[in-house]
């Protein structure tokens, strides 16, 4: 399942491409190497079609730098690679103590996001295999949809090489804690287990905010202070591609922040083609009026697209908490 539009419903250029560059730096990295890297970044930012430059450091013994450079189309990328200064850096890298692998061009596979949420940190998943399988691409796409329900995640961007053997997935978070929570989560472990069974080489890397550049200068969002919570909100998702049915279970407490993110998550599912949304609120410690309004809006949005919304409440607390029938009317 390859998607050209993003999960927020905004159409993306189907020709968008990403360049993957792997750098094995000498220890310690020489000053000429660092200056050359920064000079190249500045040069690339001036090229037509440049979108974004992100730098990651591998979380393994190699300490490799992974550069992901986004372009609006393959033509812009080809013009940039013809730039003399950029070619000079590539050819002289070995003399500066840098081993640069060949550049790999990846095409957009999926782009799912919770619109209007700032990104504070990004986690990169890189996989490589000796053979290309459609099952691996579909598996990564499905797991990326589940990862959108992980605490703190705000966007997942996936891209694959033309041969399907190299793939990346960037996971944006609104807090740095979200990264460590995800790395220890059952979902991440399941993702890695699938890669092991498919004999894929898997690497994880953290972004380096100071070595990130965009087409237009933007002030990087500052991490919001920790929000006091009596209970955290946990979201569990199961999605069936063949039927378009999503089963979501909410556990914990839905505060104002959790309500906003839950609504954005539901809208992302609906925009991604969900036709039947089953939301189980039995695991919530309480049902607030704010949570009810959020569920009502999600139900109406799905019904407007011809879908079906199902509320699972084994305790029947929704009916006891409110005397209004707005939610019941919306889901009929």
Return per-residue pLDDT of the chain as tens, 332 residues. 222 333 333 334 446 899 898 887 666 556 667 677 777 788 888 888 899 889 899 988 777 888 899 999 888 888 887 777 677 666 666 566 667 776 788 998 888 887 666 788 999 999 988 776 777 788 888 888 888 888 888 889 999 988 878 999 999 998 888 898 899 888 899 889 988 887 888 999 999 888 788 875 544 444 444 444 445 677 877 777 777 788 888 888 777 777 887 888 888 888 878 889 988 888 887 777 777 888 888 888 888 888 989 888 766 655 555 544 455 555 55
Q: How many CB atoms lie within 10 A of CB 120?
A: 21
Architecture of the domain made up of 233-331: 2-Layer Sandwich (3.30)
By CB atoms closer than 10 A (0-12, 13-18, 19+), residue 256 is: exposed
In the chain, ranges of CATH 3.30.750.24 domains: 233-331
Helices (H), 22-110: 31-45, 74-81, 84-92
Whole-model pTM: value is 0.66
As given in the structure block, the two tokens for residue 198 are: 């498919």
Is residue 308 within a helix (H) or strand (E), and if so which, with residue range? Answer: strand 308-312
From the list 139, 101, 137, the residue with the least C-alpha distance to 20 is 101
The verdict on domain 17-214 having CATH code 3.30.70.100 is yes
Query: How remote is the C-alpha of 273 from its chain's centroid?
Result: 18
User: CA nearest 113: which of 74, 158, 68?
Assistant: 158
| Cα–Cα distance measured from residue 52 to residue 211, given in angstroms and rounded to the nearest whole number | 11
Cβ-based neighbours of 155, under 8 Å, separated by 6 or more: 111, 112, 113, 114, 117, 119, 170, 171, 172
State the DSSP code for 179.
Answer: H
Q: If DSSP codes are grouped into helix, strand and coil, which group holds residue 11?
A: coil
Boundaries of CATH 3.30.70.100 in the chain?
Answer: 17-214
Neighbours of 43 (CB within 10 A): 16
Q: How far is Cα 111 from Cα 5, in angstroms, rounded to an integer?
A: 7
Q: Residue 119: which residues within 8 A CB-CB, separation 6 or more? A: 154, 155, 172, 173, 174, 221
Separation CA 227–CA 257 (nearest Å)? 9
Q: Which helix (H) or strand (E) holds 278?
A: strand 276-284
């Amino acid at each position: 399942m390859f998607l050209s539009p993003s999960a927020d419903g905004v159409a993306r250029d189907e020709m968008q491409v990403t360049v993957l560059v792997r750098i094995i730096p000498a220890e310690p990295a020489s000053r000429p190497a660092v200056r050359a890297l920064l000079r190249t970044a500045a040069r690339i930012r001036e090229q037509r079609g440049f979108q974004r430059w992100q730098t990651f450091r591998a979380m393994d013994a190699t300490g490799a730098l992974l550069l992901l450079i986004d372009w609006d189309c393959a033509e812009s990328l080809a013009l940039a690679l013809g730039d003399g200064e950029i070619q000079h850096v590539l050819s002289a890298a070995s003399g500066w103590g840098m081993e640069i692998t060949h550049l790999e061009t990846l095409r957009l596979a999926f782009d799912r996001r919770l619109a209007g949420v700032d990104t504070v940190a990004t986690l990169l998943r890189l996989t490589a295999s000796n053979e290309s399988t459609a099952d691996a691409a579909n598996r990564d796409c499905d797991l990326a949809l589940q990862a959108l329900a992980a605490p703190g995640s705000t966007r997942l961007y996936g891209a694959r090489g033309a041969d399907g053997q190299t793939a990346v997935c960037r996971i944006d978070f609104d807090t740095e804690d979200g990264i460590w929570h995800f790395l220890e989560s059952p979902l991440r472990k399941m993702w890695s287990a699938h890669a092991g069974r498919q004999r894929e080489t898997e690497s994880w890397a953290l972004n380096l905010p100071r070595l990130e550049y965009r087409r237009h200068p933007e002030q990087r969002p500052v991490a919001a202070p920790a929000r006091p919570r009596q209970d955290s909100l946990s979201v569990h998702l199961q999605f069936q591609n063949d039927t378009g049915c999503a089963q979501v279970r909410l556990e914990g407490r839905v505060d104002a922040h959790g309500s906003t993110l839950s609504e954005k998550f539901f809208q992302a599912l609906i925009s991604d083609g969900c036709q039947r949304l089953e939301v189980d609120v039995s695991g919530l410690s309480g049902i607030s009026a704010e949570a009810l309004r959020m569920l009502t809006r999600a139900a109406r949005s799905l019904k407007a697209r011809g879908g079906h919304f199902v509320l699972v409440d084994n305790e029947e607390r929704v009916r006891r908490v409110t005397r209004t029938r707005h939610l019941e009317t919306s889901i009929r």
